[in-house]
Structure formats: C-alpha cells, structure tokens
Amino acid sequence: MPVDSASRLDRMIARLTTQRRCLEHAAGLVRRLPGPVLEIGLGKGRTFSHLRLLLPGREIFAFDGSIHCPPDCVPDPEHLFIGDFRDTLAAAQPRLAGRAALAHADFGTEDPARDAALAEALGPLIDALMAPGGVVVSDREMAARRWSPVPAPAGRWPYFLWRCRAGR
C-alpha cells in the first residue's frame, strides 16, 4: 500500500522502522570514527536509547526544547542542552565544534514550511559540530557545504544521511 494512503498507525510503523534501519546503518558507518553522538530531538528518548545500545560507551549529547522522556532517558546535565535548537547548537560550539562522529536530527512535524525553515537554520549549525568523516542522519532534508548524500537503506519512509568532508 502506498504510504500516503496508509493509516496513521501504518505510517508510524513505516517511519519508525525506517528510522531504526537508518540509525543502525549510520552507527555502522561511524563505528571506527571517534567522537560523540548528537541527538537533536530527544523527545520521548526512543532513538536516544537505541543509539546508546548501538554505540555502547559513546558519549551522547541530547538537545530539546524541554524534557518529556522517561527518567531512564534523561542524560546527565553535562550531556543535555535545553532550549531552542538554534540557540543550543550554537552554545555547544565551544565544547563540540568539529568533534561529533554522528548527529541524528529528528525534528519533523506535519508543517512542511516550519520544518523547511528549521532545517535551513540547523544545517550549518550541525555542520560546525561535525568531525571530518562524521555522518548526519535526519528525518528532514537539510544541506551544508561539507555534506554529501549517503544512500539510505531501503525503507517506506523518507530519511536522509550525509557524510561530512574535511575542511571548513
């Protein structure tokens, strides 16, 4: 069944199945690349907890406007940035610039214009935090000068991956 005419339940299953597959693929791509993980959109902590299992021992920094996940998914204060992404990603620069091996940006809504505006703002901010060779994964199309698309594993929902080149 085409995903557009599927039920909301089917669409959620398609989205989460694709998301899990893409995170697993991205984790494989960065397994040998040192550097922290950025979870941009902690939300209910679902993908945060999955990333913890995929990359055990890896430092993970989480970003969100507020905390609404179960207690076992709340990072310690040193690894948590609360506030608008546009402010917190900029504020993270002194600690994280050029260091992140993997960033997962999960911020999509049902408002395409809002998502496009946020994606445009986030691309350069995330790029500034990425290590050369790092991988960015997102539920929305983004762009930055150093990024080249990486084919996403086959799935029934759009998801996007990019690899960062060296240089500024």
Ligand X SMILES: C[S@@+](CC[C@H](N)C(=O)[O-])C[C@H]1O[C@@H](n2cnc3c(N)ncnc32)[C@H](O)[C@@H]1O
Q: Which residues bind ligand X (CB under 6 A)?
A: 41, 43-47, 64-65, 84-85, 106-107, 118
Closer residue to ligand X, CB minimum distance, 117 or 143: 117
Closer residue to ligand X, CB minimum distance, 107 or 162: 107
Closer residue to ligand X, CB minimum distance, 86 or 145: 86
Confirm if 10 and 111 have CB atoms less than 8 A apart. Answer: no
CA distance 85 to 109: 15
Tokens 């679902």 map to which residue? Answer: 46
Q: How far is the CB of 97 from ligand X (least distance, A)?
A: 20
Beta bridge partners of 4: none
Q: How far is the CB of 126 from ligand X (least distance, A)?
A: 13
Residue nearest ligand X, CB atom distance: 43
Q: How far is the CB of 104 from ligand X (least distance, A)?
A: 7
Closer residue to ligand X, CB minimum distance, 50 or 133: 50
* Strand 37-40 relative to strand 100-105, pairing: parallel
CA distance 76 to 26: 24
* Strand 147-150 relative to strand 130-138, pairing: unpaired
Q: How far is the CB of 137 from ligand X (least distance, A)?
A: 11
Helix ranges (H only) for 2-84 are 8-30, 46-54
